[in-house]
Structure 1
Amino acid sequence: MSPSFKGIGCMCLGVLFLALGDAVSKWLGETHSPVQIIFFRTLVSLPLIAVLAHFSGGLIKLRTRRPGVHLVRGLIYTGTMGCFVLGLTLLPLAEATAIAFVAPLFVTLLSVPLLGERIDAPVLAASLLGFAGVLVVVRPGGDAFDPGALVLLGAAVFYALLMITARRYGKHEHLWAMVFYMTLVPLVISAALLPWVWQAPHPWHWPGFLLSGVLGIGATAFITLAFRYAPAAIAAPFDYTAMLWAVLLGWWFWGEMPDAWVWVGSTLIIGSGLAIAYHDRRTTLKRRPTA
């Protein structure tokens, strides 16, 4: 099997794990506070990250000279998780997933003021098309507008900031150090807030908390492998298979079925993302030195 096909397979599997983790969080969110869900998810994830770091070169990989950077990234990640878990409890799974797809567009636009990067005209046009798709899904001012959509947009902005900081400091810090401290901060914060929101889990909720953490780390590992095997322009578009899983899981467990506007908006958002990926691939090929 070629490296590209391995990358695509890992990406699809990682996205499946993400979708399953979102479904588990939505289910748990019917009873428990997002703070409690974040606490158990990070409590399970952190030791697994340490184990993966150990087998990827040793715990020395967790050393850092930039604790302040990791603290900021951890706070951003806390905001990402909090908004996203809360949004999952307020909106149908497929609609929440569609809105979350806008995060890469925020990365593209925010990279201009925060990283000093330039955006080509085709990328800007595709980004505006994606935001038009978000407006179609959210429908602000309409009868179908749900304030939960704003919470999901907040999660997308936080996630974009997380990716921008990863791009800014990823060359200077090891991957597992970035992931470890990013997970440690929300664990500490949620642990401090837990006494005020604690709800005794039912016996069948404990496997859900455990599964949420395992699925999160599995998704991170497989998506990381995907980008090692295949170029980003090939692997990244398969992130949109999450929409298929979200529709299936939402229909199966909650009887949710997206309306026509969600499908139209999702098509615009996904189309803009694919257009940006295609443009990046063409630009990369043009910049390669000829033989």
Structure 2
Amino acid sequence: MSVSAADAPDALSGLIPSRIVRGLIVAVLSGLCFALLNTSAKELTQQLPPLFVAWGRWIAGLVLIAPVMLWRVGPHGLATRHLGLHCVRGAFHATGYALWYEAVFWLPLATVAAIGFTGPIFVTIGAVLFLRETVHRRRWIGVAIGFAGMLVVVRPGLAEINPGTWMMLAAVPLISGSNLVGKKVSTHDRPMVVVFWQSAIASILFLPAGLWFWHAPTLPQVALFLSAGLFGTLGYFFLAWSFRLMDISALQPITFLGIVWAAAMDMIVWGKTADLWTFVGAAIIVAATSYIAHREARIGRPR
């Protein structure tokens, strides 16, 4: 009997028998890598057009992962029986991150992280609108509280809303859709295959923007692109790995550490971070989305 990708042993199985502990460890590593990716990307968007940065980041990731895969498993290791799902994910991902790269130019990383926490809220609404799922009163209360937290971060009418805020609010549901499809393909393909196809498809989809906004990068900018490609590739590799080990709802609270890493990078690199209200709103969103994740886990648990 064949073993599915989800049940196959991984590199940490011998050291850490617990599947849950392995899932938590690689989820934390994923968050750290994404924080370093975001730092490199934000620095690049201060110097180059954001959509050119998006294309360059994916090209750098592909340059880094393709030789490793060819060396380890050969061309046959790139094969997948689920190319359609990878393409669907790529469409969500490229559209969402086109908006994200524009938003990160305008906003502190901590604000980007706080708005990004609303992902489970959009997933719940999408399940009602597009999947016709029944959502009960308690989960709607969690959604309402989460939106209240988002309003605390954005503060319409009390604080100036720059274009980055609107772009980030539009990006979150698209990125959430990408993560849901990513969870699906991760049960069929190994993490490196998932990340390879994600990088290849995103590079193709961002190609027109990359050519339109072309700038010859300097050597320091090339180093930042390679940094973004490396940490982005590692981040998605660890994320796909964690998807194989744990339910996406159980992993959600780990992503809330992202605002800690983001605030630290804001202070270390740029000497400033988001205001107090961003962290207050983030705390409210964390509470609401944790409750939604808890309800999802209870509903999905066998009786």
After TM superposition, the score normalised by the length of structure 2 is: 0.82
- Going from structure 1 to structure 2, the CA distance change for 1:73 and 1:9 (only over 3 Å counts) comes to closer
| Structure 2 CA distance for aligned equivalents of residues 59 and 117 of structure 1 | 41
Range with bigger deviation, 87-96 or 37-46: 37-46
Query: What does residue 85 of structure 1 align with?
Result: 101
Range with bigger deviation, 220-229 or 29-38: 220-229
Query: Is 1:194 matched up with 2:210?
Result: yes
Deviation at residue 225 of structure 1 after TM alignment: 2.4
RMSD: 2.8
Unpaired runs of 5+ residues, structure 1, are: none
Query: Is 1:237 matched up with 2:272?
Result: no
> How is 1:87-166 mapped onto 2 (pairs within 5 angstroms)?
87-166=103-182
SS of residue in 2 equivalent to 1:11: helix
- Going from structure 1 to structure 2, the CA distance change for 1:27 and 1:267 (only over 3 Å counts) comes to same
Deviation at residue 7 of structure 1 after TM alignment: 1.8
Query: What does residue 212 of structure 1 align with?
Result: 228
| Structure 2 CA distance for aligned equivalents of residues 166 and 223 of structure 1 | 9
Which amino acid is the alignment partner of residue 251 of structure 1? M
CA deviation map 1:46-83 (0-9, x unaligned):
25454676689765465456766544432322211211
SS of residue in 2 equivalent to 1:5: helix
| Structure 2 CA distance for aligned equivalents of residues 112 and 194 of structure 1 | 36
Query: Is 1:45 matched up with 2:51?
Result: no
Query: Identity rate of aligned residues, in percent?
Result: 28
Range with bigger deviation, 27-36 or 186-195: 186-195
| Structure 2 CA distance for aligned equivalents of residues 172 and 36 of structure 1 | 32
| Structure 2 CA distance for aligned equivalents of residues 44 and 138 of structure 1 | 33
Query: What does residue 184 of structure 1 align with?
Result: 200
Deviation at residue 93 of structure 1 after TM alignment: 1.1
Range with bigger deviation, 182-191 or 264-273: 182-191
Pairs aligned (count): 287
Unpaired runs of 5+ residues, structure 2, are: 1-15
Among residues 262, 265, 278, which one is paired with 1:246 in the alignment? Answer: 262
8 A contact 2:107–2:164 mirrored in 1 = yes
- Going from structure 1 to structure 2, the CA distance change for 1:68 and 1:121 (only over 3 Å counts) comes to same
After TM superposition, the score normalised by the length of structure 1 is: 0.86
Query: Is 1:271 matched up with 2:284?
Result: no
SS of residue in 1 equivalent to 2:159: coil
SS of residue in 2 equivalent to 1:97: helix
- Going from structure 1 to structure 2, the CA distance change for 1:235 and 1:165 (only over 3 Å counts) comes to closer
